[in-house]
Every structure is written in C-alpha cells, then in structure tokens.
C-alpha cells in the first residue's frame, strides 16, 4: 500500500480520513515522510529560497474584540499608537536598504485611519516602484479595498482564522461573522489583490474536524499566500488560561498545505518561532518559504502585543537579519531577492 504522505504529494489532495490520519498519526515515519515530501515539492517549485517580508505594524488601534487577541478593543493595558507617514516611510527605507523588497503594513481594524494610510501607500509606491506592498488591515468596505488597490497595494492578508461558523462565533463576539470574513476575501480577490488567508492552530475549542474544514476552505479558495501559526495565550484576554497550540501540529499543517498548494507563498510565522527556538527553521524544513522580520520601531513594537512572548522572538527583528541569513545558510537555504510573487499570478504593479 502506498503511504498517505506519498499519495498527497502525487495527487495534491486526499479524502477527509486521509487528512485526519496525517494530522493525528503517532507514526514518526509517516510524519517524517510528510515533512520531507513537502520540502521536496517546495524545492521543485521555488528552489531553496526564502523570501523576506518587512512587517510594519502600522497601528494597534482596533475596533474589534477578538477573544484571543491582545490588541482587542477592550484591552485597556495596551498603549495605543498609530505610526505616522514619516515613520512608515522610514521603516520602508530601512527594509529596502536591508534588501527586503516586500513591505507588509499590518494593523488592527482601524477604518478611520485607513484614509491617511492610503496616501502613504501611494507615496510608498512612487518611492519604491519595484517593491511589493502587502496590506493586512482587516475587514474594510469594498470601496476602501478598491481605493487601496488603486493606491498601489498588490497583496492583502486576511486570515479566515477558522472555517467553521460556530467555532468562529466562539472566538469572535458579534457583530463579527465568518460570513463577513469570507465575503471580504472574495472581494479582495475580485479587486485584484494577491490574497492570503489562514488559520490559528490550536485555538480554544478547535477540533481536527475544524482543521479539515480549514484545509478544504483553503483548497477551494486557492489563495496565493497561506499564513498559519499556533494560538498563543495573551494575558489580558479572555483566553489567557487556554493552552497554546502545538508547534508540531502547526509544522505538520504547513507540510500538508505545501503539498496541497505547491506554488503558494507560506511563511514560517513569528508565533511558531515564539514556541520554540527551532520553530522558524522547523517551518522552513516542512515547506515554508517566507520569513517576516519585524521592522516596526521598537517602542511601538512593544505595544503590538497580539500574544505573549512576541517581542522575545528577537531573531525576527531587523537587527538580526544577518543571524537569520546564517541560520538559513547552515541548512542550505538562501535569502531570495525580488518581490517573491506567487508563480501563479504575477501581476504588474499598479501605477
Ligand atoms: N495567538 C496567535 N495568533 C494570534 N493572532 C492574534 N492573536 C493571536 C494569538 N493570541 C493572529 C491572528 C491574526 C494575526 C494578525 O495574528 O491570526 O489574524
């Protein structure tokens, strides 16, 4: 009998029971095979290249109250900030100089601030015509997405968090719904963004069935980018006492997603590197091909507390790019230059 990890590599998909076995199996050989197959497929499509994305945490102001998130509206322990146009441009300049050719502007859901940001996006586009501009600003009106796209942004990240509506409702108070989240993802795609989505792994109440539903949703949606990371409790949130998600399961999911989406850009996320010193490399060994070093100025970065330990992930910061380069080189990976678009949808930069 052919092993499930090989069948997934050949077919790019499996039935639910096959996926369940790969998620839950205690067989170390099957797990090894899964991870090795995923890396092989990554090498075939992308080579042993890792693309860097400069994360710029634009604001921690947020209108939402997600039960897991440290910058939720009702957390009074966070000092709120919004980076100015000058600060953002200076982060981009630093990133460009460090050879990072994608800028990711991420923030809480702060529609009132987005208008000013739009002008900044246009300035970034004019100043660095060859850079990719990625936004991660939550759920906004379709018109706002269209304006952002016209200002010159290329990509948009919006995790679906969980593809099960009832589970979604346990993680997000009203009026947030899975339906709205998915509607936004469809609009983003129609607006011409390269679109990224993904889920938290091990969030409270999550079951294997939920993860299978996540894999099926991603399979249908076929995003250009897929970002997943373990849930990590944050002390000022209602979920403070829940256990963190498992790094091992996160890495397995990266491998599964790679085999189901050979040409997707998949980051080895900060949350994974927070759980263990080897976290980031374990993601890359399992088929991740993106790392997102944090270029936010340190004072503000300290207040962008999505989860506990985020700021202790010191190798993710700009000062440690050289360390990252060496760490990757030791295992035969190189930092790629260029925008690192999905080979599926290379879109021209909007003027
Ligand atoms: N643990 C892990 N990831 C989190 N995020 C927010 N809060 C947490 C947490 N406690 C993730 C969400 C969101 C992204 C910006 O950060 O998935 O989409």
Q: Where are the domains of the chain?
A: 47-335
Cα of 64 from ligand 1 centre, angstroms? 13
State the virtual CA torsion across 304, 308, 312, 315 in degrees, nearest 10.
Answer: -70
Instruction: Tell me the pLDDT of the chain averaged across its residues.
Output: 95
Q: Which residues contact 155 (CB under 8 A, 6 or more apart)?
A: 102, 132, 133, 134, 135, 193, 194, 195, 196, 224, 225
pLDDT of residue 320: 83
Which of these, 205, 225, 99, lies nearest to 154 by C-alpha position?
A: 225
Average pLDDT for residues 9-26, to the nearest whole number? 98
Distance from the CA of 313 to the center of ligand 1, in angstroms? Answer: 15
Structure tokens at 315: 């190798």
Whole-number pLDDT of residue 74:
97
pLDDT band with cut points at 50, 70 and 90 for residue 277: confident
Render pLDDT for 175-196 as a digit per residue (tens, 0 to 9): 999 999 999 999 999 999 999 9
| Smallest CA separation from ligand 1 atom 6, residue | 69
pLDDT at 311: 76
What is the average pLDDT across 267-291? Answer: 95
Residue 199 · residue 216 · CB < 8 Å? no
What percentage of the chain carries pLDDT values higher than 70? 96
Quote the pLDDT of residue 350.
44
Cβ–Cβ under 8 Å, residues 57 and 301: yes
Confirm or reject: Cβ of 159 under 6 Å from ligand 1: yes
Q: Is the CB of 68 under 6 A from ligand 1?
A: yes
Please work out whether the CB of residue 200 comes within 6 Å of at least one atom of ligand 1.
Answer: yes
| pLDDT (tens digit per residue) in 92-134 | 999 999 999 999 999 999 999 999 999 999 999 999 999 999 9
Q: What average pLDDT score do residues 251-255 get? A: 98
Check residue 349 and give its pLDDT: 44
pLDDT band at 345 (very low <50, low <70, confident <90, very high): low
Burial of 215 (C-beta count, 10 Å sphere; 0-12/13-18/19+): buried
Closest CA to 317 of 334, 301, 329, 335: 301
pLDDT digits (tens, 9 = 90+) for 203-243: 999 999 999 999 999 999 999 999 999 999 999 999 999 99
C-alpha 163 – ligand 1 centre gap (Å): 15
Which atom of ligand 1 lies at the shortest distance from residue 199's CA?
17
Mean pLDDT, residues 306-313 taken together:
82
**With DSSP H G I counted as helix, E B as strand and the rest as coil, what are the percentages for the chain, rounded to 5?**
45, 15, 40
pLDDT of residue 197: 98
Lowest mean pLDDT among 27-31, 156-160, 340-344: 340-344
**Can you tell me the distance from the alpha carbon of 279 to that of 229, in angstroms, rounded to the nearest whole number?**
11
Q: What is the pTM of this model?
A: 0.96
Query: Which atom number of ligand 1 is nearest to the Cα of residue 159?
Result: 18
Topology of domain 47-335, per CATH? TIM Barrel (3.20.20)
58 lines ligand 1 (CB under 6 A): no
pLDDT per residue as tens digits for the range 143-160: 999 999 999 999 999 999
Answer whether residue 338 shows pLDDT above 60: yes
- Give the distance (Å) from ligand 1 centre to CA of residue 60: 13
What confidence score (pLDDT) does residue 351 get? 39
Mean pLDDT within 58-83: 98
The residue whose CB lies within 8 Å of the most ligand 1 atoms, and thus the one to mutate among 53, 58, 68, is 68
Asked if 337 and 101 count as a contact pair (C-beta separation under 8 A), the reply is yes
Does ligand 1 have an atom closer than 6 angstroms to the CB of 306?
yes
Closest ligand 1 atom, CA of 239?
10
Banded model confidence at residue 310, pLDDT cuts 50, 70, 90: confident
């Amino acid at each position: 009998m052919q092993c499930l990890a090989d069948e997934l590599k050949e077919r790019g998909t499996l039935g639910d029971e096959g996926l369940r076995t790969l998620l839950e199996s205690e067989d170390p050989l099957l797990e090894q095979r899964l991870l090795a197959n995923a890396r092989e497929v990554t090498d075939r499509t992308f080579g042993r290249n890792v693309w860097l994305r400069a994360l710029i945490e634009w604001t921690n102001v947020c209108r939402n109250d997600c039960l897991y998130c440290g910058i939720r509206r009702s957390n009074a322990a966070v000092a709120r900030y919004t980076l100015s146009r000058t600060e953002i441009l200076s982060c981009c300049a630093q990133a460009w100089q460090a050879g990072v050719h994608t800028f990711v502007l991420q923030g809480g859901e702060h529609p009132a601030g987005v208008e000013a940001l739009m002008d900044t996006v246009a300035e970034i586009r004019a100043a660095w015509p060859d850079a990719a501009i990625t936004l991660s600003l939550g759920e906004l009106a379709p018109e706002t997405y269209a304006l952002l796209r016209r200002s010159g942004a290329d990509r948009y990240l919006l995790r679906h968090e969980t593809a099960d509506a009832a589970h979604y409702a346990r993680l997000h108070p009203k009026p947030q719904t899975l339906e709205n989240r998915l509607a936004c993802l469809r609009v983003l795609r129609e607006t011409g963004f390269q679109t990224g989505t993904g889920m938290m792994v091990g969030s409270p109440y999550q079951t294997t069935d939920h993860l299978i539903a996540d894999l099926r949703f991603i399979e249908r949606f076929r995003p250009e980018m897929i970002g997943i990371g373990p849930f990590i409790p944050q002390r000022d949130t209602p979920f403070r006492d829940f256990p963190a998600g498992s790094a091992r399961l996160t890495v397995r999911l990266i491998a599964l997603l790679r085999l189901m989406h050979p040409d997707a850009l998949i980051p080895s996320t900060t949350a994974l590197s927070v759980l263990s010193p080897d976290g980031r490399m374990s993601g890359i060994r399992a088929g991740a091909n993106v790392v997102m070093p944090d270029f936010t100025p340190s004072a503000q970065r300290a207040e962008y507390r999505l989860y506990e330990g985020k700021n202790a992930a010191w190798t993710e910061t700009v000062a440690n790019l050289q360390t990252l380069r060496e760490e990757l080189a030791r295992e035969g990976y190189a930092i790629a230059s260029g925008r690192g678009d999905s080979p599926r949808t290379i879109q021209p930069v909007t003027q």
